[in-house]
Homo-oligomer: A and B are copies of this chain.
Amino acid sequence: MTALKIGLIGTGYMGKCHALAWNSVAPVFGDVERPHLAVLAEASKELAEKKARELGFARATGDWRSLVEDPAVDVVSITTPNAFHPEMAIAALEAGKHVWCEKPMAVRLDDAERMREAARVSTRVAVLGYNYIQNPVIRLIRRILDEGQIGEVNHVRLEMDEDFMANPEDLFYWKSEASSGHGALDDFGVHPLSILRVLLGGVRRVCGHMTKPYADRPLQGGGRRAVETYDIATVLMELENGASGLIALNRSAWGRKGRIFLQIFGARGSVVYDQERMNEVQLYTADGTKETQGFRTILTGPQHPPYDKFIPAPGHGLGFNDLKIIECRELIRRIAGEEAYILDFEDGIRIERTVDAIARSAHEDRWIDVGADERRAAA
């Protein structure tokens, strides 16, 4: 395969993360052609040029449309605010580019459906930046489940908590506006849903609940404005595989910084994982003598691919940015027509519909059948 030519739109948190991945994927994996960092687009030409220099892109533009149409570009990394995803992703696909779009797909479900439709009619690859699933730990858990090491799964609990909205005296900003979405649910609830998806499959029914820990927040110039989004969400659910479960999300959870806490219970054992200790996983199996049973804290190492591509020694630790490099390798695999472990727009729309069902459930105060929605949508 010749070198892929890359276009990057956006250079914020995730934009830089994509750029780092494009820079490192070849030296880390050693089995792919070094991508050519062709064009970078930002809001202005000036910013674009500054960032292109920093991040190693050959050219810069203040016009993302010129980037998606540029024949010198094969793949477009879309890392702009969620509201821009639909327009950009659809344009890129229509221009015949592969798309690597950050999660979630869109603010509104119908926009996400349009994106998926564009991917369907296109012959190009359209994948999403669900990087947490790329942790070798999550792959290990998947293998543990597939091999039946903890037996048939009957219950799962997923929590995701951070504290960037925890201070009630922080100024009102766009994340508290209804136009930004539901709140914790779509802001980061999609991450646990992505993990759920790769480990346990689809969700059948949900009963959601959303609350506002703080009714209002101060405005810059004085006074206060009512908060419109929900910083806390909780969900009961039944999975398609018959297991029961719950999801709890809180972006005002003081002290939690990047916690995704996962507990999976099966007929022969349990698995527990905490993203804040992303190089560990806890496994309990009902094997051996009762006297010495206990949760095993497994530290990741070269025996958990592709950790070995980064470090030959165990227990030395991957970081958050390394997950994006792994994701990038999977994207390249998918583009090459190989089996790849990555979530595409088909997977993404399932996640979005689940989010939508949870939100409706919370507003209507009742259980909602996600599957029914799926079937309706599919009809």
Contacts and interface: CB of A to CB of B under 8 A. Distances in A.
Contacts of A273: none
A29 B283 CA distance: 35
Chain A interface helix/strand/loop/mixed: mixed
A185 B291 CA distance: 29
A207 B321 CA distance: 39
A265 B252 contact: yes
Contacts of A201: none
A284 interface: yes
A222 interface: no
B293 A294 contact: no
A148 to B, nearest CB: 13
Contacts of A254: 150, 265-266, 268-270, 284-286
A289 B213 CA distance: 24
A20 interface: yes
Which of A166, A285, A298, A367 counts the most chain B CB atoms within 10 A? A166
Contacts of A322: 319, 321
A254 B269 CA distance: 5
A246 B246 contact: yes
A190 to B, nearest CB: 16
Contacts of A13: 311-313
B56 A258 contact: no
A167 interface: yes
A374 interface: no
A228 to B, nearest CB: 17
Interface in A123-152: 140, 143-144, 149-151
Interface string A262-294: 000111111000001111000111100011111
| Range class of the A interface residue count | 35 or more
A182 interface: no
Contacts of A140: 291-292
A276 B299 contact: yes
Tell me the number of copies of this protein. Answer: 4
B316 A318 contact: no
Given A293-B296, A319-B310, A209 B244 contact: yes
A317 B258 contact: yes
B315 A276 contact: yes
Interface of A: 13, 16-17, 19-20, 23-24, 26-28, 30, 34, 53-56, 140, 143-144, 149-151, 154-155, 157, 159, 162, 164, 166-168, 207, 209, 211, 213-214, 232, 234, 236, 238, 244-246, 248, 250, 252-259, 265-270, 276-279, 283-286, 290-299, 301, 303-304, 310-322, 365-367
23 contacts: A13-B312, A16-B27, A26-B55, A34-B53, A143-B291, A144-B292, A154-B252, A155-B250, A162-B313, A167-B286, A207-B209, A213-B267, A254-B270, A254-B286, A256-B270, A257-B316, A258-B314, A276-B279, A279-B317, A294-B297, A310-B320, A311-B320, A317-B320
**Smallest CB-CB A-B distances: 3 pairs:** A257-B315, A319-B319, A255-B284
